[in-house]
Structure 1
Amino acid sequence: MNIENKANKKSSNNQPIGIFDSGVGGLSITSCIKDTLANESLIYVADSQFAPYGELSKQAIVERVNKIADYFSAQQCKALVVACNTATVNAVESLRQRLTIPVIGVEPAIKPAALASKTKHIAVLATRATAQNSNFLRLVDQFKGDCQIHIQACPGLVDLIEQGLHNSPQMLDLLYQYIRPLNAFNIDHLVLGCTHYPFVAAHIQAIAGNHVTLMETATPVTLQLKRQLDAFQINASIGNTARYQFLSSSPNHQQNQFLSTIWRSDLIFNSFN
C-alpha cells in the first residue's frame, strides 16, 4: 500500500459511526460505545417526531429507518448501529441488504437469560410492535431453551421517558401494572427489550425485587460493534479526536436536558429533517 492509499484508509477509518433510535433511548447504547471506543466519532439521530416506533406499522418503521440510513450514507458513516429493538426486528435485515457497511442491531438478551435462569421463568418487557413481531417471536423460540418466556408489552413507557417523566406517578403506575403480574410466575430474569427501559431500571428493579436479574443490551451491542470494526479493519486511528453530533426530528428542552445529563456535558440536539 503506497503512502497515498495509507492516508486515504486512515481518513476513511476516522469516519463516524451512525446510531439511531426512535428517541433518546438509544443514548444508553451510545454512551457505552463512547466509553468503550473512545477514538470513534459518533452521529446520533433521535427520531422523536415518530416515537414510539412501537405504535407504528411495520411499513412506517421501515420508511423511517431507510430515511435515516440514507442520511448516514450521505455523511459517509462507516458503520450503523440500530439502537432500537423495534427497528431491529422490523427493518435490520432490509438495511443489511441495502448497505455495504456493517449494520449492528439490538437483540433482547433472551439467550443469556435462559442459560442463567434457575426457576426457568423469564420475562421480557417490550414495546407493542416488538412483542407482536414474528422475527422477535422466532428469536424467543430459538433461544428460550427449557424456559418459559413471559412477554409483556408496555405501551406508554417510551412516551413518558421521552417526556422526561422518569420518576412521575404515571411512570410508577404503569410499571406496577406491567411488572407485578410477572412476579406470580416466579421469574428470576427480566429482559429489558427496549433501549429506553434502562433509564427507569431502578424503578423496575424495585418492583420486580432484588432476586430478579435485569438484562440489558448496551454492552453486548458495543462488543459486537467492536468485533465488526475489527473484522472490516475500520477502527479509528489511535489518537483520533472523536467528534459527537446529536440530531432529533423533534428537538425539545427535555431531550437536551436528558442528553446533557447522560453525556455529563452541556449539549443540545440539532434538527434532523
Structure 2
Amino acid sequence: MPTPTSPIGVFDSGIGGLSVLQALREVLPGERFVYLADSGNAPYGERGDAFVQARSARITDWMRSQHDVKALVIACNTATAAAIDGLRDGNTGLPIIGVEPALKPAALHSKTHKVGVIATQGTVSSHRFAALQAANSAHTQFVVQACAGLARAIEDSTRPSIPASQNATQITALCAQYTSAMGRFGSEPGQIDTLVLGCTHYVFAADTLRSLVGPEVTLVDTGTPVARRTYSLLHATGMLRKQDVEAGAAALEACQLFTTGDVSALRHAAEQWLGLPATCASSAIIA
C-alpha cells in the first residue's frame, strides 16, 4: 500500500510530459517521481482511442505494481481525453490527475475574446474536448487547429541521430504552417490574443511559437495548474511527503525516468530541459 513517502507516477506518450514533471517538481520539491515516456508507441495523438485506453491501463498497472505510486498524473492530453474515466473507474482509491487544454483560463484572460488552440488530432476529435469547448464558448471564439506531426518532430528533437538544425527547421516549418492557418494574431479586435498549447510536447516549442505569433500573444499551458491540483489532492488525503530541506536536496536523486523507446533521447531531454543527470533515465519493457 502507498505511503506518504511513495512516489508520484507520471506518464506521457513520450517526452512532452517532462514539461508537466518540471512543474510538479517546482510545486512539490520534496516528492519522489517516477516518469514513463511511452516513446515506443508515440505519439498517442495519431493512435485510436482503443489503443490509448489499453496502453494507459497497462502503464497504470505497471506504475502500481512496480513502483507503488500514491498518485498518477496523466501528462498527456490525448490519453486524458481517451482513458482517464476508465482508469479512475478501475483504480478506486488512487488519485488520478489528467491534463486538458486550458480553455477556461485562456477564455478568462483573452481581451479580444478570440483564443487559438493547437493540439493533436486525437485531442481535438475527442468528446471530452468538445464538451470543454462548448462549456467555455459563451463569450469566446475558439480557433482550433490540429497539428499533425508536430509532437513527433519535438519528440525527435531529443534524438542524437537527427541533426539539430534539421529538426529545428522542421519544427519551425510545422509551427509556421499551423499558426498561419489559424488567422491573425495580436491584440486588436478580431485577432487571436491567446494561444493554448493543447499538447504537453508543445511547451518545448514555445520560443518558436512566440516568434511566430508575436510578443503580444499569451501562451497558455497546463503544467502548473496540474501540479497545484496534485498538491491539493495529496494534502487533502494526508499523503504529502514531509518537504524539509533534506528532502529538497535529495530531489534530483528522487526522480526516476523510464522509456519504452530510445533511452539516449530521454537522457538528452532530461539533461537539456530538466537539468537532471543522464543516469536517472533507464529503459522499460511494458508489454
Please indicate the TM-score interval, normalised by the length of the shorter structure: over 0.9
Match of 2:20 in 1: 29
1:106 paired to 2:99: yes
Match of 2:81, as an amino acid? Answer: V
- Tell which deviates more after alignment, 93-102 or 233-242: 233-242
1:117 paired to 2:128: no
SS at match of 1:245: strand
**5+ residue gaps, structure 2:** 158-163, 185-189
Matches within 5 A, 1:13-92: 13-74=4-65, 75-92=67-84
Given the two structures, how large is their TM-score scaled by the length of structure 1? Answer: 0.92
Find the aligned partners of 2:274 and 2:111 in 1 and give their Cα distance.
37
Find the aligned partners of 2:210 and 2:261 in 1 and give their Cα distance.
31
Contact 2:120 2:146 in 1 (8 A): yes
Match of 1:223, as an amino acid? Answer: R
1:211 Cα offset (Å): 1.7
SS at match of 1:196: helix
Match of 2:230 in 1: 225
SS at match of 2:3: helix
Match of 2:210 in 1: 205
1:130 paired to 2:123: yes
Find the aligned partners of 1:247 and 1:150 in 2 and give their Cα distance.
36
1:117 Cα offset (Å): 1.4
SS at match of 1:12: coil
How big is each residue's C-alpha offset from its partner over 1:149-179, in whole Å with a ceiling of 9 and x where there is no partner? Answer: 1110001111111111586211111111100
SS at match of 2:273: helix
Find the aligned partners of 1:61 and 1:250 in 2 and give their Cα distance.
17
Aligned residue among 269, 273, 276 for 1:258: 269
Contact 1:125 1:151 in 2 (8 A): yes
1:259 Cα offset (Å): 1.0
Contact 1:251 1:270 in 2 (8 A): no
1:94 paired to 2:105: no
SS at match of 2:278: coil
Find the aligned partners of 1:31 and 1:168 in 2 and give their Cα distance.
22
Matches within 5 A, 1:101-250: 101-164=94-157, 168-184=168-184, 186-239=191-244, 240=247, 241-242=250-251, 243-250=254-261
SS at match of 1:115: helix
How big is each residue's C-alpha offset from its partner over 1:128-161, in whole Å with a ceiling of 9 and x where there is no partner? Answer: 1101111111111112331111110001111111
Contact 1:79 1:102 in 2 (8 A): yes
- Tell which deviates more after alignment, 109-118 or 220-229: 109-118
* Percent of aligned pairs sharing the same letter: 37
How big is each residue's C-alpha offset from its partner over 1:191-210, in whole Å with a ceiling of 9 and x where there is no partner? Answer: 00000001010110111111
Contact 2:29 2:243 in 1 (8 A): no
1:253 Cα offset (Å): 2.3
Contact 1:111 1:144 in 2 (8 A): no
Given the two structures, how large is their TM-score scaled by the length of structure 2? Answer: 0.88
Contact 2:45 2:78 in 1 (8 A): yes
Find the aligned partners of 2:76 and 2:52 in 1 and give their Cα distance.
11
Contact 2:31 2:243 in 1 (8 A): no
Number of positions where the alignment pairs a residue of Structure 1 with one of Structure 2: 264
Match of 1:247, as an amino acid? Answer: F
1:265 Cα offset (Å): 3.1
1:125 Cα offset (Å): 0.3
**5+ residue gaps, structure 1:** 1-7
1:183 Cα offset (Å): 3.2
1:112 Cα offset (Å): 1.1
- Tell which deviates more after alignment, 167-176 or 228-237: 167-176
